[in-house]
Amino acid sequence: MNKKKSVTISDIAKRVGMTTITVSRALSKPDLVKPATLARILEVARELDYVPNAFARGLKRSESLIIGVITASVDNPFYSEMIKAISREAKQHGYTIMLVDTDELEELESKAVDTLLGYRVAGIILSPVSDEPSYQPDYLERLGNGKTPVVLLDRTIHDSPFSRVVLDNYHSGIQAAHYLLRQTPDLKRLLVLTGPAHSRITVERLKGLREVLADHPHIQVEVQAGDYTLMPSYLHTLDYLAEHTAPDAIMGFNQLITLGALRALRMHNIPHDSLTICGIDRLPFADIFGVPIACVAHDASLAGSSAVRLLLDRLEDPYKPRDKVVITGVLENG
């Protein structure tokens, strides 16, 4: 099976009937080109699926020793640990990484994909801005042509053809629920702070939690959906505490969410050890400050290194079937 030939500036120039100089200027310095000319060139570039090559024109894709990494947020400690593991594993195989932080913005994610394709990276490890079933980004077709191997990490894109490394979120919800019941036998009110309501991660963690709590119908479960950052959980917890006494227990769906809840408790002068708290994944350096919060911890380093190995497998055999690695969490400080 022959690989699709990369589209060049010359191909675009032939299609629009202009010189390569004009096309090159339109793509690199659009302000120097007449609007009508620019519009025509950009239209043809999109039709031909042109991706600018940031390396020398003679560079073959098979010679690239760069792995592109796209992450939704380097602020997340779990993601930082995964990225470190990706870099370490890549170096062991002679690769370096090119990291792009999309700051949870869809348009930046799309640009990041184009940038990495332009650099002719060997492959891409992608943690998308959303894992909601409705999220179908415009770059899927560009990545799905099979020329550049892709591995999804933690968050996945619904019904996409890529290999993936995911967490066992359902099992994590089950473990957290059992801990909360053991730690608080008289549990009556539970505040659950989650990521986006339709996120696959949120849905699976809630599913595991509710399955265990189904045998305890007297427990009042208050679910507050936000995102995977600190501020929404902080505000939700503040609002809850303004209207209610402290709950018997709080569960946070990642480290930043748990930290937001702890911050709100502190604002209300409620000691963190006066109620049961359980989170997903470790709070960084919490033990140093004498705050050993129970959590279901996933091995972020294993997740990152596994993503690199899946990518290398695809580079070795481009036609290998889609693969999947599942990282199971372990209860700590519980």
Q: Which amino acid is at 51?
A: V
Q: Between the CA of residue 251 and those of 120, 224, 280, 284, what are the distances in Å?
A: 43, 10, 8, 17
Query: What is the per-residue pLDDT for 78?
Result: 94
Tell me: the pLDDT tens digits for 114-167?
999 988 899 999 999 999 999 999 899 888 876 899 999 999 999 999 999 999
CB of 110 closer than 8 Å to CB of 138? yes
What's the chain's Rg over C-alpha atoms?
24
Look-up: residue for tokens 């693969």? 323
Residue 137 phi, psi (nearest 5): -65, 155
> pLDDT-derived band of residue 63, with 50, 70 and 90 as boundaries?
low
Query: What is the per-residue pLDDT for 238?
Result: 97
| pLDDT of 2 above 50 | no
The string of DSSP letters for 138-197 reads TTHHHHTTSSS-EEEESS--TT---EEEEE-HHHHHHHHHHHHHHH-TT--EEEEEES-T
What the chain holds in terms of domains, given with CATH numbers, is 9-47 (no CATH), 61-166+300-326 (3.40.50.2300), 169-297 (3.40.50.2300)
Tell me: the pLDDT tens digits for 69-85?
999 988 889 999 999 99
What is the distance between the alpha carbons of residues 102 and 110, in angstroms, rounded to a whole number? 9
| pLDDT of 181 above 60 | yes
Tell me: the pLDDT tens digits for 214-241?
999 999 999 999 999 999 999 999 999 9
Residue 285 phi, psi (nearest 5): 65, 15
Other beta carbons less than 10 A from residue 143's beta carbon? 21
Residues 6+ apart with CB under 8 A from 5: none
Residues forming beta bridges with residue 295, ordered by sequence position: 279, 332
Q: What whole-number percentage of the chain has pLDDT above 70?
A: 95
CB under 8 Å, gap of 24 or more: what pairs does 307-310 form? 307/82, 307/86, 307/125, 307/151, 307/153, 307/165, 308/67, 308/86, 308/89, 308/90, 308/93, 308/95, 308/125, 309/89, 310/151, 310/163, 310/164, 310/165
Total-model pTM: 0.80
